[in-house]
Amino acid sequence: MFYNYPRMKTIILASGSPRRKEILKNHNIPFQVEVSDVDESCGEMSPKELVKELSLRKAKAVSKHHPFDIVLGADTVVAFHDQILGKPCDDENAYDMIHMLQGNRHQVYTGVTICAGEKITTFYEMTEVEVSPMTQDEITSYIATGEGRDKAGSYAIQGEFGAYITAFHGDYENVVGLPGKRVLEVLQKEFL
C-alpha cells in the first residue's frame, strides 16, 4: 500500500502498455507514463538476457528526463524451445506462432528495470504456460479477433485465448506483461 508521503518520488512507467498500467493500478501503485522510444534490436541473446537488456534500455532512456524520480521499464517475450516469439508482423506470422504453441508448453519472460538516479535494479520473471491442442479453424478464428496483433507470441492470456490455456506455472500477471507483486516488493524494499 502506498501513502502520500510529502517527499515521495514520482514513479514513471516507461511503457504505453494498457496491460502494464492496469497491473500497477491493481497493486495501488501511483504512476505517470512516459513512453520510451529506444531501439529494440538486439543480437543473439537468451530470452531472459533480452528482456533484461530491453527493460534496462527503456528505463535508462526515460530516466534521463526524470533524474529525481523512479522509472520502471519492462519488456515481455514468449519463448518456445528458446526461440523468441515477439509481436506478429501480420496474420500469417500470428498463425504460425499460435500453431507452434498449441498443444505445447512455452515460457513467458518479463524483464523489469527500476531506476532512481544512480540506483538501478534489473530482474526477470518466467512463467510456463500450457496451451491445449487447437484445430486450424480455432487458430484462424482466434487470429481474426485481432486480439493478439500487438502481443508477444500473438496472444493475450487475459482475453479470448484464455480458453485455450490449460495451466500456467508461475505469476499470471507476468504473462499479461508485468509481475506486479515482485515490482511492488522491489519498490518497497529498495526504492521507497
Grid cell listed for 151: 502481443
Catalytic residues: 75
Which of 31, 68, 79, 73 minimizes the C-alpha distance to 53? Answer: 73
Which of 124, 133, 126 minimizes the C-alpha distance to 107? Answer: 126
Dihedral-angle region of residue 172 (phi above 0 means left; psi in -120 to 50 means alpha; beta otherwise): alpha
Single-letter code of the amino acid located at 143: I
For 143, half-sphere exposure in the C-beta direction (CA atoms, 13 angstrom radius) is 21
Phi/psi at 149 (5° precision): -60, -35
Grid cell listed for 96: 504460425
For residues 62 and 120, is the Cβ–Cβ distance under 8 A? no
- The residues near 100 (Cβ < 8 Å, ≥ 6 apart) are 80, 85
